[in-house]
Amino acid sequence: MRLSAFSGPRKGIFSFMRQDAFSKCHPLTNFVFFVGAIGFSVVFQHPLYLAASCAAGAVYLVLLNGKKSWKLIAGLVPVFFLLSALNPLFNSYGERVLFHVFGKPYTLEALFYGMAIAGIFVAMMLWFNCYSAVLTSDKFVCLFGSLIPALSLLLVMVLRMIPNLMRKARQISDARKSIGKGAGETDNFREKVADGMNILSSLTDWALEGSIVTADSMRARGYGGAKRTSFQIYRMTARDYLLLGFSILLAFIVMFAGGTEATYTPVLYIAPPGWGLAAYCLYLLIPSLLHGKEALQWRISISRI
């Protein structure tokens, strides 16, 4: 009996990709793209450019993490409106007064400026989550291990410390609950605080012991005794060079095309977007388009089985 490749629940086109296509590129290609995406999102305050950055970051994050990313995206929506509404309370610049709050004018220009700042914050959260998923610690060491070995090692250890501590804290909490020493839902606030302090104490002991073991291991392997070499499994391919050159070309087009100017206070002015906006959208969609291309090819190859 022939087994169909599509037996069972039918899935979407992107569900067949087990690894993101852009993540398989060389770390230099990944790093240059994220420098541009994050840098442009910080510099540009034009509403259309910010909207494009947020939309492209959300799309790529969904392609990377699937349904788990919707929780973060949904949580950023109220944060955006909250930051937008709070800015006019502290910044009263502007000509168009909407109403007064405690005697201070609540201006339209300040509200729009708050929306721009909130848009930058949302874009940063989205793109940094994409960055952490794509540019892993081994890629970072591959890029900067030979240039700044001590600093790259320190940064990698710091970046992995928080996830490790959170994971170990959950393990300690589960272990305490399994032996009946963890705080339950019916316990009062004081008992929950005491349980949290015990977990923190155990976590601190584990972290200090781990640092000693790591230091002894590095010393035993001769770290710092001489110039060390590094093994790299990443090699630049023709596709990596093509993507890198295409990204740099689009970045230069965005920088010199104009149409990115936007001022909100004291006078509202938003420049009409030029053709640089199309180049900017194409730049931000490079990972998503590459993912979609390989997912489509994978789907076609599966259908021929």
User: Which residue ranges of the chain lie beneath pLDDT 50?
Assistant: 1-17
What pLDDT is stored for residue 243 in this prediction?
93
| 5-7-10-11 Cα dihedral, nearest 10 degrees | -50
pLDDT in tens, 64-92: 998 889 999 999 999 999 999 998 888 87
pLDDT in tens, 190-202: 877 888 888 888 8
- Phi, psi dihedrals of residue 77, rounded to the nearest 5°: -65, -55
The answer, yes or no, to whether the previous bond of 266 is cis (omega within 30 of 0) is yes
What pLDDT is stored for residue 180 in this prediction?
79
What pLDDT is stored for residue 11 in this prediction?
44
**Other Cβ atoms within 10 Å of 19 Cβ, number:** 9
What pLDDT is stored for residue 123 in this prediction?
96
pLDDT in tens, 118-155: 999 999 999 999 998 898 877 877 777 666 666 666 66
pTM over 0.85: no
